[in-house]
Amino acid sequence: MAGKILVTGGMGYIGSHTVVELQQSGYQVVILDNLSNSEQGILDLITRVAGVKPEFVQLDMQNRERLEGFFREHHDLEGVIHFAAYKAVGESVENPLMYYRNNVGSLVNLLDCMTDSPAAKNLVFSSSCTVYGQPDTLPVSEDAPVKPAMSPYGNTKQISEEIIEDTCQANGGLEAISLRYFNPIGAHESGLLGELPLGVPNNLVPFITQTAIGKRAQLTVFGKDYDTPDGTCIRDYIHVSDLARAHVVALERLLAKQHQKSHEIFNLGTGTGYSVLEAVNTFEQTTRVKLNWKFSDRRPGDVEKVWADTGTANKVLGWKAERGLKEMMSTAWQWEVNLNDGLMD
Ligand code: UD1
């Protein structure tokens, strides 16, 4: 029987998929989540998909005393996968302290608890390709320079990686892997787990599916004059289930002590970039649903093009994304249809 793993933010989009993946690999999972961007009902859906109910503790990790209490009660944790954080770029610009307090404050509390804990020394951290800004060369590899952050949200990811690096260099025994995600999209193949955007979605695919189902009148494509083949921005979209699998692989690398240094960093993408129009067209072709969309001006802060050099993740981590853009779109659509049919009501 594999050990007990803490998943913070385990009720969220990537977290819930990772919990299922862990359970299906035989791990016992404890979820910590404050439900600030999720719903209690996700717990039942995780249980339906995996056939096992994870332990769930509702807790805000900014509350250090409660987090310490949690670690005292759970002294047998073998590893931690840390997702719990805010992630809306625009909101972070309007309310930076909320982002620093939550994203950085919670991480510091977590690392303190892990340092004090006799067991929980292995950390997988949820980082982002946003740390590269607009890279000078593409595809972007892990040794590309970290660029000045374009938002407080992006800055919290950079600072968090630095805090983890410093903590790993100190004597507390922490071992960590930071995973820099490109653009996670799609949903679980069961149609029972997916992204639950709060209010109007900021990200492309939830906006596409909500427009297609009729919740939004029209999709806006931001910018048509970028230096790309069709003039729209290019991203490396990655299926959330491939991403979830990578977390289990990273965790097992730490547990098996196969890591080569105390803090490793890997890009998680497919290595292929698609433009916004290619994403829209693939959605239409895969689902046979017509999208109402228009062009508008560029969105401030968007990088023009970015896709991953996946060589290190493939060769060193031993993980490769398997699902393509069509599967990402079809599963995202099935999830939206299921939500519309009252899955979460
Ligand atoms: C954004 C964040 C990134 C974060 C990620 C996941 C920025 C600059 N980056 O990535 O740091 O890790 O979300 O939360 O915000 N688009 C449209 N119409 C829309 C929405 C998006 O045309 O309604 C376009 C965007 O201009 C972009 C692409 O679709 O070219 C992808 O956008 P999005 O899904 O928001 O992801 P990123 O901006 O790449």
Q: Is 85 in the pocket of ligand 1 (CB under 6 A)?
A: no
H-run or E-run covering 177? strand 175-181
How far apart CA 185 and CA 286 sit, in angstroms, is: 15
158-178 pLDDT, tens per residue? 999 999 999 999 988 999 999
Stretch among 26-30, 68-72, 198-202, 339-343 having the lowest mean pLDDT: 198-202
Neighbours of 134 (CB within 10 A): 13
The answer to whether residues 267 and 129 touch, using CB atoms and an 8 Å cutoff, is yes
Q: Is 299 in the pocket of ligand 1 (CB under 6 A)?
A: yes
Confidence of residue 119 (pLDDT cuts 50, 70, 90): confident
Contacts 24+ apart (CB under 8 A), 154-160: 154/89, 154/92, 154/128, 154/130, 156/85, 156/92, 156/99, 156/100, 156/103, 156/104, 157/103, 157/127, 157/128, 157/130, 157/131, 158/131, 159/100, 159/104, 160/103, 160/104, 160/107, 160/125, 160/127
For residue 185, pLDDT beyond 80? yes
Strands 293-296 and 234-235: unpaired
Position in ligand 1 atom list of the atom nearest CA 88: 14
Q: Ligand 1 atom 3: the closest Cα is on which residue?
A: 130
How far apart CA 179 and CA 238 sit, in angstroms, is: 13
Nearby residues of 253 by Cβ (< 8 Å), 6 or more positions away: 177, 259, 264, 317, 318
Position in ligand 1 atom list of the atom nearest CA 303: 8
**Over residues 28-47, mean pLDDT:** 97
How far is ligand 1, taken at its centre, from the CA of residue 202, in Å?
7
Burial 64-102, CB ≥16 within 10 A → b, else e: eeebeebbeebeebbbbbbbbbbbbbebbeeeeeebbeb
Which residue type sits at 66? R
Tokens of 230: 């069709």
| Superfamily grouping for domain 204-234+271-316+321-340 | UDP-galactose 4-epimerase, domain 1 (3.90.25.10)
DSSP state of 326: H
pTM: 0.97
CA dihedral of 130, 133, 136, 142, whole degrees rounded to 10: -30
What is the largest distance, in Å, between two alpha-carbon atoms of the chain?
57
Tokens of 73: 């009660």
Q: Which of 27, 99, 153, 274 is catalytic?
A: 153
Q: Is 183 in the pocket of ligand 1 (CB under 6 A)?
A: yes
How far apart CA 109 and CA 136 sit, in angstroms, is: 35
- Residue 120 phi/psi, 5-degree rounding, is -70, 90
Q: Which residues on adjacent β-strands are paired with residue 32?
A: 8, 57
User: Half-sphere exposure of 95 toward its Cβ, with a 13 Å CA cutoff?
Assistant: 9
How far apart CA 148 and CA 51 sit, in angstroms, is: 44
Residues in the chain: 345
Confidence of residue 2 (pLDDT cuts 50, 70, 90): confident
The answer to whether residues 306 and 135 touch, using CB atoms and an 8 Å cutoff, is yes
CATH topology (fold) of 4-185+238-269: Rossmann fold (3.40.50)
**Over residues 129-137, mean pLDDT:** 95
How far is ligand 1, taken at its centre, from the CA of residue 22, in Å?
28
How far is ligand 1, taken at its centre, from the CA of residue 252, in Å?
31
Please state, rounded to an integer, the average pLDDT across all residues of the chain: 97
> What pLDDT sits at residue 172?
83
**Over residues 6-27, mean pLDDT:** 98
The distance of Cα 202 from the centroid of its chain, to the nearest Å, equals 15
Residue 99 a catalytic site member:
no
How far apart CA 337 and CA 321 sit, in angstroms, is: 25
Position in ligand 1 atom list of the atom nearest CA 299: 26
Confidence of residue 1 (pLDDT cuts 50, 70, 90): low
Confidence of residue 181 (pLDDT cuts 50, 70, 90): very high
Q: Is 203 in the pocket of ligand 1 (CB under 6 A)?
A: yes
Position in ligand 1 atom list of the atom nearest CA 154: 11
Question: For the chain, which residues make up each domain, given as ranges?
Answer: 4-185+238-269, 204-234+271-316+321-340
205-247 pLDDT, tens per residue? 999 999 999 999 999 999 999 999 999 999 999 999 999 999 9
